[in-house]
Structure 1
Amino acid sequence: MPIDLHDGDLPDGLDLKSMARGGCVAIDSETMGLNPARDRLCLVQLSAGDGASHLVQFRRDRYDAPNLKRLLTDPEVTKLFHFARFDVAVFQAYLGVTCQPIYCTKIASKLVRTFTDKHGLKDLCKDLLGVEMSKQQQSSDWGAEELSPDQLRYAASDVLHLHDLKERLDALLAREERTALAEACFRFLPARAALDLGGWDEPDILAH
C-alpha cells in the first residue's frame, strides 16, 4: 500500500480528481479527540481508489491548504466518508469549507443493513469485503510532531476500502429501493455538521 505523507497541503500537480474511481475520493480525518469544536484537526487521509493513500499532516493553526480545500469543495468530485457527520464538521471548523457532494458508508449501512447494529468501518470491511482491520492506533496522539509508521499505516487503511464498500452498499440501496433516501441524507450532512458545531448536538434538534 503506497503511502505519501504531505506537510500542510496536497502538493501542486497531484490531480486526485482525474484519478478518482467512480468520481469519488475517499477521505478521513484524525483529530486530537471527538469534539470538533475543541479538538484540532491533525491529519487528513485521501485515496482515489487506486490502492494508494495521501496523508496531509497539519501543524497547529496552519490550515491554509488551498489544494486540499479546492478538492473538498469541487462539485464534480464526490467526497466518500465513513461517518461523514464528524469529518464534515471538522472541515467546517478548521478548514472553513463545506463539502459537497458527499457519500457516507455508515449512513448507507444503517439504511440497508437493518438486521445488525454493527455499522463501524471495521465491521463493514469484515462483513462486506472479508477484510480484517486493526483499530489499535485509533486513540493514539495524532498531534505528535512526527507520526509513527504504525499510525501512518492505520490512517491510510481507513480510506483504502471505502470505494469497494460503496459499490457493495450501492447495490444494497438499489435492491431495497432506498437510494433516493440515502442521497437526501447525504445532502443534509453539512447542515447536520453546522448544528453540531453550533451546540445542537445533544439534545439533537431533531429529537422529540
Structure 2
Amino acid sequence: MSDHHATYHYVECPAALAALVERMARANRIALDTEADSLHSYYEKVCLIQLSFEGETFVVDPLAGMNLSPLLALLTTKPLLMHGADYDLRMMRSSFQFRPRGEVHDTQVAAQLLGIQEFGLAALARRVLGTTLTKSAQKADWSRRPLAPDLLAYAADDVRHLEPIAARLLDELRGLGRYEWYRASCERLVEASLRDRPRDPDEAWRIKGLRGLTRHQLAFVRELWLWREHEAQQADVPPFKVLGNAQLRDLALWASAHPSRPLGEGPRLPRNCTGRRLAALEKAIAHARHLPKDQWPELRKSPLAPRQRDHECEKRVDALMSEVASLAQRLGMAPSLLASRATLEAVVARQPRSPGEVLACRHLLPWQAELLMSTILKVLATAPPKE
C-alpha cells in the first residue's frame, strides 16, 4: 500500500484495496469516517473513506476508479465506530447504497449523554486524550485530485483516535447506568439515516426568513429559488454559490415591490450572475410578476394537528417542557436529549393515560418514556394552568 504519511496508508489501487479487505476480515470493530464535497458540488458524493482498526489507519480513495464492492460488503457486516454518524451514513447510503448490519457506535451520542457540552471530535480528543486535532481543512474540496499529504493526514486523524475516545466514554456511560440509553439512541440514529427523506415540492423552496411575507412576495421567492436550483444543477455547485438565502429573499422583496423597475436598479447581484444566468434570472422575475393570484403559493400551514393547536394543549406542552428542563438539569444533559418540543407535542396529541400508552409513543425511546412517564401522566391528568 502506498504510504504518503507515516501514520496512515493511502489506498488508491486495486492491489492495495484487496490487501485492505483481507486485513479487515480479521478486525473486530472498525472506526469509519468520510469526507464529501457537499460544500463544493450540487451532486454531493463521498470522496474519501477513512478506516482505522488494530492500530492502523487507512484512507481509501473512492474516486480512483476501483471496485469498492468487496470493501463495502465486508464493512456492512462489521461493528462500526463513528463520530456524528448520521451525516456519514447518509452519504455512504446515497453514494454506495451502504446499509450497516452490525452495531454502530457514535462517540458524539456518547458525549452528549454524558452531558459534555463540547462534543465535537477535536474537543473530545483534547478532553479525553490531551491531543490537539487541527480542523483547518473542514472546508476543503475533497473531490480535487491529487490531494495534498496534509489533507490526507487530516482525514486520517478523524478516525485514528476514535477507539481510545470511545473506550473512555463508554466506560463513563456504564458507570452512570446510561449505556442502554446510548445503545438505543445509536440504533434510532441508524434507523433514521436509512429512511428516505422525500422532498416536498411545496416546502423545498421555503427558506428561512419568510415569516410574515405575503403570498405575492412568496411567489417571487419560489421563482427565484427554482431559478437558483436550476443554475446550481447546471454548474454542479451548491445553491449558496449561486445566490445566498438572504440575497434571494432581499431580491424577491425588491422585485415584488418594484414591478416596472429594471433589475440593474435592484440589490447587488453576485459577480457570477452575468450573461445567460442573468437572462434566466430576469425571466424568472418576469414570470413571477405575471403569475395570476390563484397560482401564488399558500401561506405555510401549521404542522400541528387541530388538537395540538388547541390553546390548552399548548399550555400542557409548555408545562412538559418546563419539567423536562428540570429533569435534564438534574441529569446534567441537554433537555433535547430527553424530548424535543415536537416530540412532546406529539405525545400530548396522543393523550396517553397509562404507563403502557406512554411506552407505546413511538416518538419516545423506551428509556426516555420511562424517565418522563410520571411527569407526562401527571401533566395530562391535571387541568392546564390558568394564565
Which category of TM-score, normalised to the shorter sequence, fits these structures? 0.7 to 0.9
- Compare the two structures and name the one with the higher strand fraction: 1
Partner in structure 2 of residue 5 of structure 1: 10
Root-mean-square deviation over aligned CA pairs: 2.7
Please give the residue correspondences for 1:145-184 in structure 2 after superposition, counting only pairs within 5 Å. Answer: 145-184=145-184
Deviation at 1:139, TM superposition (A): 1.1
**Partner secondary structure for residue 13 of structure 1:** helix
1:40 aligns with one of 34, 37, 45: 45
TM-score (norm 1): 0.84
For residues 163 and 59 of structure 1, the distance between their equivalents in structure 2, rounded to whole angstroms, comes to 27
Partner in structure 1 of residue 97 of structure 2: 96
Task: Report the AA paired with residue 4 of structure 1.
Answer: H
Partner in structure 1 of residue 75 of structure 2: 72
Note if 1:27 corresponds to 2:32. Answer: yes
Partner in structure 1 of residue 57 of structure 2: 53
Note if 1:125 corresponds to 2:133. Answer: no
Note if 1:186 corresponds to 2:190. Answer: no
Partner in structure 2 of residue 16 of structure 1: 24
Task: Report the AA paired with residue 62 of structure 2.
Answer: F
**Partner secondary structure for residue 5 of structure 1:** strand
Deviation at 1:184, TM superposition (A): 1.1
**Partner secondary structure for residue 45 of structure 1:** strand
**Partner secondary structure for residue 171 of structure 1:** helix
- Whether the 8 Å contact between 2:38 and 2:44 is mirrored in structure 1 is yes
For residues 51 and 37 of structure 2, the distance between their equivalents in structure 1, rounded to whole angstroms, comes to 19
- Cα deviation, 1:119-167, whole Å, max 9, x if unaligned, reads 0000000001111110111211100121001101100111110000110
For residues 129 and 94 of structure 2, the distance between their equivalents in structure 1, rounded to whole angstroms, comes to 33
Higher relative contact order structure (alpha carbons within 8 Å, sequence separation ≥ 6): 1
For residues 12 and 341 of structure 2, the distance between their equivalents in structure 1, rounded to whole angstroms, comes to 41
For residues 111 and 54 of structure 2, the distance between their equivalents in structure 1, rounded to whole angstroms, comes to 20
Residue ranges of structure 2 left out of the alignment (5+ in a row): 1-5, 205-302, 304-339, 343-387
Moved over 6 A (4+): 34-37
Distance change >3 Å, CA 41–CA 207, structure 1 → 2: farther
**Partner secondary structure for residue 33 of structure 1:** coil
- Counting aligned pairs with the same residue, the percent is 26
- Cα deviation, 1:65-109, whole Å, max 9, x if unaligned, reads 1122123211xx211100011111111111111113200000011
TM-score (norm 2): 0.47
Deviation at 1:195, TM superposition (A): 3.9
Higher Cα Rg, which structure: 2
For residues 196 and 139 of structure 2, the distance between their equivalents in structure 1, rounded to whole angstroms, comes to 22
Distance change >3 Å, CA 176–CA 43, structure 1 → 2: same
Equivalenced residue count is: 196
For residues 123 and 47 of structure 1, the distance between their equivalents in structure 2, rounded to whole angstroms, comes to 20
